[in-house]
């Protein structure tokens, strides 16, 4: 028991000793802020940090380890290290330093202070109290939290001093940063543009609404602020507070939101079929390029204040809409309709309605019409410069001009003429109004006129139109009947053609048959000619044969007559021969068996036919006269001579053959012998 009391007394003594000598153990994840209770150099008046050993908070901090600071003179405040997470931003508020200038809202950047970790360097180099322009990127820092208050997204690092106003100020600052999403970098995607508003630096000159671009040249490292990420260089380059002309495009930016805020807007897209005419609100005054005769505004080069002479072609543009505006002008055809409740594609005509006319015959129709026009993209700036807006051009210029023109036309035409001469009026209007449109840098393509319409309480125009329709129907009926008649005639011709086509086969066959029969007739005719020639030849040959036979017989008979001793004997020879042949065939008895005789000589007479024939032949009572031979025909004499010659030749040939045969037989016998 005594031993325990002694040990406890020793421990208490050691503890008291350690307290008296100021032994402090600081972990490695913390720092010690030293506060001096008293000093022979006195205490501070307005400062918080004692740079010369005065009583108060000392600029240096104690890092992790064992330190000795006597509690009789020092108080050590152990605070955590400041950690900024990856991809976040930390903001610093300085409790001590020089006061801010009247034009300043943030303390200037002190590069020598090693990101605020060297309090002495910060204060000795002119560091200012209040929120700082410099920001903290990701990492761990050993801050003197008596001098600096560090605000992150998740935590506020500071050493409380019991100042209520300071606490309220810090809370307000935190709310401001959260409302601006200030703890995260600015990420701009492809279709967005960042419009920057700077909250520090000198104010803009009077009359300027957007600060000009400064410090955007990377080749000048002294003033290149790298898209507002280095506030000190931005101000050194002469930048002004307020909305900036320079914009941020795609990328990630670590910007102090207390120094500058960024508003994301859409990129300006100029579609195909349009050009963008830029009306710039900023820039120096440029030289007017529209000419002395054009007094509708200034047409300037790019970068100057006014309407830019060169329009923007189709595409995407990172355009600062606070520094100017882009008027989209269609380069395709624009259709303007003077028709109630109807609009063209571009909707410039949504307030237009039909033109009210008074015709020559006192009708009051409403005329619907449409105008097709085109704007040359090179003249688009002139149109914008003159009218400011295409809808204003339509409503304040084109509408009264077109209405007045057609009112004048209507007064010179009757209602019927207005309807029937629509095409002529349309062509005339297109030609005459081209010059008027060209005066406003517009190209008129075509004027289209509709059918005049009557007002709701007036049916006279409808009656006229009804009469015209009836008249037209009558004319169309006449035309219809005429065409039906022609159609009937054509149908008849068609039927005839079809019938002819149907009989064409028979016609063709008959024509072919006729041709065949003709050819056959010709063949028959040729055959008959050949047959006739054959018959003639045969007849002539037969006649010649018969003639030759007859002449031959005549020659034979003549020779027979000569042999009988005269012609009468030849006749007798022939008669007797024929008589004998007849008796032989008939079987008549030469001597009849019964003879009837009358008269005196009957008893002594005998009736013998043969005897009677002989008696007649031997007398001259037969009636055959033998005349002298007449002179022979030359042909008969020729044939007779040819026959005689052939007979002689035949006899001689036969004689020669017999002689030759005898000679051959003799030769054969000699050979045998």
Residue 628 CA to its chain's centroid (Å):
126
Which residues in 601-629 are b (16+ Cβ under 10 Å) and which e?
A: eeeeeeeeeeeebeeebeeeeeeeeeeee
Q: Which of 302, 329, 356 is the last residue of a domain?
A: 329
Same domain, 497 and 441: no
SS3 137: coil
d(CA 115, CA 138): 12
Q: Is residue 547 part of a domain?
A: no
Same domain, 208 and 316: no
Its sign, for the CA torsion 375, 381, 383, 389, is positive
- Which pLDDT tens digit goes with each residue over 294-318? 555 678 999 898 899 999 999 999 9
Same domain, 207 and 303: no
CB distance 99 to 108 below 8 Å: no
CB distance 357 to 407 below 8 Å: yes
Does residue 602 or residue 42 have the better pLDDT? 42
The dihedral over CA atoms of 100, 101, 104, 106, expressed in degrees to the nearest 10, equals -20
CB distance 275 to 380 below 8 Å: yes
Which range is most confident: 6-10, 66-70, 457-461?
A: 66-70
Output the pLDDT for position 22.
65
- Domain of residue 506 covers 469-519
Task: Identify the CA nearest to 227 among candidates 184, 259, 183, 204.
Answer: 259
- Which pLDDT tens digit goes with each residue over 318-362? 999 999 999 999 999 999 999 988 888 888 899 899 998 888 888
Number of domains in the chain: 5
Task: Identify the CA nearest to 357 among candidates 401, 398, 418.
Answer: 418
SS3 171: helix
Residue with tokens 């209405």: 403
Q: Which of 329, 351, 378 is the last residue of a domain?
A: 329
Output the pLDDT for position 673.
53
Same domain, 325 and 341: no
Output the pLDDT for position 632.
61
Averaged pLDDT, 20-43:
81
Output the pLDDT for position 575.
66
pLDDT at 626 over 50: no
Same domain, 219 and 229: yes
Q: Is residue 283 part of a domain?
A: yes
- Pairing relation of β-strands 299-300 and 306-308? parallel
How far apart, in Å, are the Cα atoms of 113 and each of 77, 127, 143? 22, 9, 11
Q: Do you know the residue count of the chain?
A: 673
Same domain, 438 and 488: no
Q: Is residue 666 part of a domain?
A: no
How buried is 443 (Cβ within 10 angstroms: 0-12 exposed, 13-18 middle, 19+ buried)?
middle
Same domain, 370 and 449: yes
- Confidence class for position 611, pLDDT limits 50, 70, 90: low
**Mean pLDDT (the chain, rounded):** 83
Does residue 475 or residue 235 have the better pLDDT? 235
Express as a percent the part of the chain with pLDDT over 70.
Answer: 81
d(CA 232, CA 21): 46
Same domain, 305 and 352: no
Its sign, for the CA torsion 44, 50, 55, 57, is positive
Phi, psi dihedrals of residue 318, rounded to the nearest 5° = -85, 75
- Which pLDDT tens digit goes with each residue over 133-143? 999 999 999 99
Does residue 128 or residue 70 have the better pLDDT? 128
Task: Identify the CA nearest to 283 among candidates 386, 213, 380, 200.
Answer: 213
Q: Which of 307, 329, 351 is the last residue of a domain?
A: 329
Task: Identify the CA nearest to 593 among candidates 581, 603, 608.
Answer: 608
pLDDT at 239 over 90: yes
Same domain, 38 and 120: yes
Phi, psi dihedrals of residue 367, rounded to the nearest 5° = -105, 110
Q: Is residue 554 part of a domain?
A: no
Does residue 538 or residue 418 have the better pLDDT? 418
CB distance 211 to 241 below 8 Å: yes
Tell me the whole-structure pTM to 2 decimals: 0.62
Same domain, 170 and 198: no
- Which pLDDT tens digit goes with each residue over 638-663? 777 777 777 777 777 777 777 877 77
Q: Is residue 641 part of a domain?
A: no
SS3 76: strand
Q: Is residue 633 part of a domain?
A: no
Q: Is residue 57 part of a domain?
A: yes
Q: Is residue 15 part of a domain?
A: no
Same domain, 244 and 341: no
Same domain, 477 and 501: yes
Q: In this structure, what CATH number is given to the domain that contains residue 422?
A: 3.30.479.30
């Amino acid at each position: 028991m005594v031993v325990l009391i002694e040990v406890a007394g020793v421990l208490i003594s050691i503890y008291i000793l350690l307290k008296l000598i100021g032994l402090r153990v600081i972990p490695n994840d913390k720092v010690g802020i030293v506060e001096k209770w008293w000093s022979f150099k006195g205490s501070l008046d307005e400062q918080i940090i004692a740079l010369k050993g005065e009583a108060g908070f000392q600029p240096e901090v104690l890092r992790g380890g064992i330190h000795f600071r006597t509690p009789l003179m020092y108080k050590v405040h152990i605070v955590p290290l400041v950690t900024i997470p990856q991809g976040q931003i930390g903001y610093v508020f300085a409790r001590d330093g020089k006061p801010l200038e009247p034009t300043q809202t943030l303390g200037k950047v002190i590069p020598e202070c090693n990101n605020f970790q060297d309090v002495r360097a910060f204060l000795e180099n002119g560091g200012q109290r209040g929120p700082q322009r410099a920001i903290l990127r990701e990492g761990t820092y050993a801050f003197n939290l008596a001098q600096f208050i560090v605000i992150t997204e998740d935590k506020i690092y500071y050493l409380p001093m019991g100042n209520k106003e300071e606490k309220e100020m810090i809370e307000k600052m935190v709310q401001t940063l959260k409302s601006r999403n200030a703890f995260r970098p600015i990420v701009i995607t492809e279709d967005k543009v960042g419009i920057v508003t700077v909250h520090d630096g000198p104010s803009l000159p009077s009359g300027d609404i957007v600060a000009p671009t400064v410090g955007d040249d990377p080749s000048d490292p002294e003033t290149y602020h790298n898209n507002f990420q280095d506030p000190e260089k931005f101000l050194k380059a002469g930048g002004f507070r307020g909305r900036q002309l320079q914009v941020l495009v795609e990328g990630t930016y670590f910007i102090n939101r207390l120094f500058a805020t960024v508003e994301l807007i859409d990129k300006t897209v100029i579609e195909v079929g349009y050009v963008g005419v830029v009306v710039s609100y900023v820039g120096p005054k440029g030289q007017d390029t529209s000419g002395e005769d054009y007094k509708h505004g200034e047409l300037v080069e790019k970068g100057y204040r006014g309407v830019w002479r060169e329009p923007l072609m189709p595409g995407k543009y990172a355009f600062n809409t606070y520094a100017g505006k882009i008027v989209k002008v269609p380069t395709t055809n624009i259709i303007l309709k003077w028709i109630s409740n109807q609009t063209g594609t571009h909707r410039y005509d949504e307030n237009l309605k039909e033109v009210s006319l008074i015709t020559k015959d006192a009708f009051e129709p409403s005329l619907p019409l449409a105008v097709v026009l085109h704007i040359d993209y090179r003249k688009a700036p002139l149109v914008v410069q003159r009218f400011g807006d295409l809808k204003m051009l339509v409503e304040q210029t084109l509408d009264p001009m077109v209405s007045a023109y057609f009112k004048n036309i209507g007064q010179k035409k009757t209602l019927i003429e207005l309807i029937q001469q629509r095409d002529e009026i349309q062509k005339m209007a297109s030609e005459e109004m081209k010059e008027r449109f060209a005066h406003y840098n517009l190209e008129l393509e075509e004027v289209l006129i509709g059918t005049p319409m009557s007002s709701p309480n007036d049916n006279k125009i409808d009656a006229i139109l009804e009469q015209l329709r009836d008249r037209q129907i009558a004319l169309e009926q006449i035309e219809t009947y005429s065409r039906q008649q022609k159609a009937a005639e054509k149908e008849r011709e068609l039927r005839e053609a079809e019938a002819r086509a149907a009989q064409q086969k028979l016609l063709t066959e008959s024509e072919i048959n006729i041709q065949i029969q003709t050819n056959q007739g010709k063949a028959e005719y040729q055959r008959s000619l050949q047959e006739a020639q054959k018959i003639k030849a045969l007849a002539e040959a037969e006649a010649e044969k018969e003639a030759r036979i007859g002449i031959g017989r005549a020659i034979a008979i003549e020779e027979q007559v000569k042999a009988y001793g005269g012609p009468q004997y030849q006749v007798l020879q022939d008669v007797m021969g024929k008589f004998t042949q007849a008796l032989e065939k008939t079987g008549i008895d030469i001597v009849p068996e019964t003879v009837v005789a009358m008269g005196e000589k009957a008893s002594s007479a005998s009736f013998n036919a043969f005897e009677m024939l002989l008696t007649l032949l031997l007398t001259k009572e037969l009636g055959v006269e033998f005349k002298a031979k007449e002179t022979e025909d030359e042909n008969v004499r020729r044939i007779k001579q040819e026959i005689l010659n052939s007979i002689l030749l035949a006899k001689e040939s036969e004689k020669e053959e017999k002689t030759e045969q005898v000679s051959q037989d003799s030769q054969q016998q000699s050979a045998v012998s």
